[in-house]
Amino acid sequence: MDTPNNAKPMELKDLIIREVVKDDLPALEWGGEFTKYRRMYGSIYRDSLSDKNIMWVVTLPNSEIIGQAFVMFKSADWAAADGESRAYIFAFRIKPRWRNRGVGSYLMAFIEEDLQERGYKYATLNVAKDNPDALRLYKHLGYKITGSRSGNWSYRDHEGNLQQVNEPSWRMMKKLSNG
């Protein structure tokens, strides 16, 4: 990985993976690209305070957020997250400049290890059918397609307007090593 001014190249071990704190929420909008999810991020953050989920970020040593992933422990969709053996990974993103450098694999390995320590046997996720790069990454990491999802969901944007999303996806699952 590179750094400015021909300094020593950045290595994965130099990255910091930590839980999201409230002050991180604006940075999760990635310079406006994800402002539409502001309310949803706030809700997910509030749920993380009561251990319903956990929000992770990957930062450079200077604290710049370059990646994120959220994990839901229990969902109304028990096949995704049942609170006991399966947890659901979502909002998994790496900023474009940092893709294809191992950051996503590094973050996923961290999440999987955390889930194992919590006693989970499986990790699930959905990947949009029109995102072949993400599908390739997840397959490379050992996730298997277990089904198809319509991808119809909704959220309230930052202005309070209801937004409908149609994002057909593949459900994927991986058995964790303690499973």
Asked whether 81 and 73 are in contact (CB, 8 A), the reply is yes
| pLDDT for the residue 1 | 53
Question: CATH topology for 4-175?
Answer: Aminopeptidase (3.40.630)
CA 3 to chain centre: 25
Tell how strand 122-128 and strand 169-175 pair up: antiparallel
The Cα 162–Cα 150 span in angstroms is: 19
The backbone region for 72, taken as left when phi is positive above 0, alpha when psi lies in -120 to 50, beta otherwise, is beta
| pLDDT for the residue 4 | 45
Q: What's the start-to-end Cα distance of the chain, in Å?
A: 34
Which whole-number Å values give the CA distances from 98 to 56, 132, 136, 151, 158, in the listed order?
Answer: 16, 17, 17, 27, 27
Asked whether 170 and 126 are in contact (CB, 8 A), the reply is yes
Tens of pLDDT, residue by residue, the chain (179 residues):
554 444 455 788 899 999 999 999 999 999 999 999 999 999 999 999 999 999 999 999 999 999 999 999 999 999 999 999 999 999 999 999 999 999 999 999 999 999 999 999 999 999 999 999 999 999 999 999 999 999 999 999 999 999 999 999 999 999 998 65
Record the pTM.
Answer: 0.92
| pLDDT for the residue 11 | 87
| pLDDT for the residue 6 | 44
DSSP state of 120: -
